[in-house]
């Protein structure tokens, strides 16, 4: 069971096999795969998305080991613009990518917050860990802004080669405190009063 989610600008829909065709058109770009795990094949096969969804992602969702959502703009819900995933496991609990035309608009900040809430509040996990290639500034920035702290640094294999990688972590309590602080700051910025 996986829920659809919403953010101010995005709809997050549980992944379906029917999404593969659209995703195949926007995903295989060097700027997108460069900092993804080396398990992503490159050059990317013409049926790469379909086989990954059919043989790996959807069965893992069925088993309750992974949760994948397609991202769509509220203004254009028929078009898939990216994906975000949650994964059980030791230190890679969240992954995301967004198509080139939709990058640098703050959209993944929104999606990452929504699925992090889901990880803690709906799925009930006590801690989230994510690996980030140090050079992947945008991705690292999202975790930094969420209050995730670096707990280890090691080298890992990506599609684009071996890169120094930070393992970042946040607990459920730290996440909730961080969200409360963000709400408080937003109210103060709007000139509201908070005790």
* Footprint on this chain of ligand COA (rule: CB under 6 A): 32, 35-36, 95-98, 103-109, 132, 136-139, 141-142, 145
Closer residue to ligand COA, CB minimum distance, 105 or 173 = 105
Buried b (16+ CB within 10 A) or exposed e, 153-165: eeebebbbeebeb
Q: Min. distance of Cβ 111 from ligand COA in angstroms?
A: 8
Strand locations in 54-160 (E): 66-73, 76-87, 94-98, 127-133, 149-158
Closer residue to ligand COA, CB minimum distance, 100 or 187 = 100
Contact between 167 and 131 under an 8 Å Cβ cutoff? The reply is yes
Q: Min. distance of Cβ 30 from ligand COA in angstroms?
A: 10
Place of tokens 């969702």: 61
Closer residue to ligand COA, CB minimum distance, 25 or 145 = 145
Closer residue to ligand COA, CB minimum distance, 118 or 143 = 143
Question: What angle do helix axes 107-117 and 137-145 make, rounded to 10 degrees?
Answer: 50
How many secondary structure helices (H) and strands (E) does the chain include?
Answer: 7, 8
Closer residue to ligand COA, CB minimum distance, 77 or 106 = 106
Q: Min. distance of Cβ 179 from ligand COA in angstroms?
A: 16
Residue of minimal Cβ distance to ligand COA: 138
Q: Min. distance of Cβ 1 from ligand COA in angstroms?
A: 26
Closer residue to ligand COA, CB minimum distance, 20 or 26 = 26
Q: Min. distance of Cβ 45 from ligand COA in angstroms?
A: 19
Q: Min. distance of Cβ 65 from ligand COA in angstroms?
A: 19
Give 96's contacts (C-beta < 8 A, 6+ positions apart).
82, 83, 84, 85, 108, 111, 112, 139
Instruction: Say how far apart CA 7 and CA 43 lie, in whole Å.
Output: 33
- Residue 6 is encoded by which pair of tokens? 């919403």
């Amino acid at each position: 069971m996986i829920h659809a989610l919403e953010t101010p600008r995005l709809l997050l829909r549980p992944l379906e096999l029917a999404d593969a065709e659209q995703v195949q058109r926007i995903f295989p770009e060097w700027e997108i795969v460069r900092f993804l795990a080396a398990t992503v094949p490159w050059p990317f096969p013409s049926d790469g998305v379909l086989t990954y969804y059919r043989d790996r992602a959807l069965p893992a969702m069925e088993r309750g080991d992974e949760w994948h959502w397609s991202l769509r703009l509220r203004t254009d819900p028929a078009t898939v613009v990216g994906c975000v995933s949650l994964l059980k496991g030791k230190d890679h609990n969240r992954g995301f990518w967004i198509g080139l035309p939709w990058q640098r608009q703050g959209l993944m900040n929104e999606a990452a917050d929504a699925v992090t809430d889901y990880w803690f509040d709906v799925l009930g996990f006590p801690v989230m860990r994510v690996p980030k290639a140090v050079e992947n500034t945008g991705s690292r920035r999202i975790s930094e802004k969420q209050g995730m702290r670096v707990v280890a640094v090691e080298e890992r294999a990506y599609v684009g080669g071996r890169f120094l990688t930070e393992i970042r972590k946040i607990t459920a309590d730290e996440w909730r405190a961080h969200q409360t602080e963000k709400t408080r700051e937003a109210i103060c910025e709007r000139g509201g009063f908070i005790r």
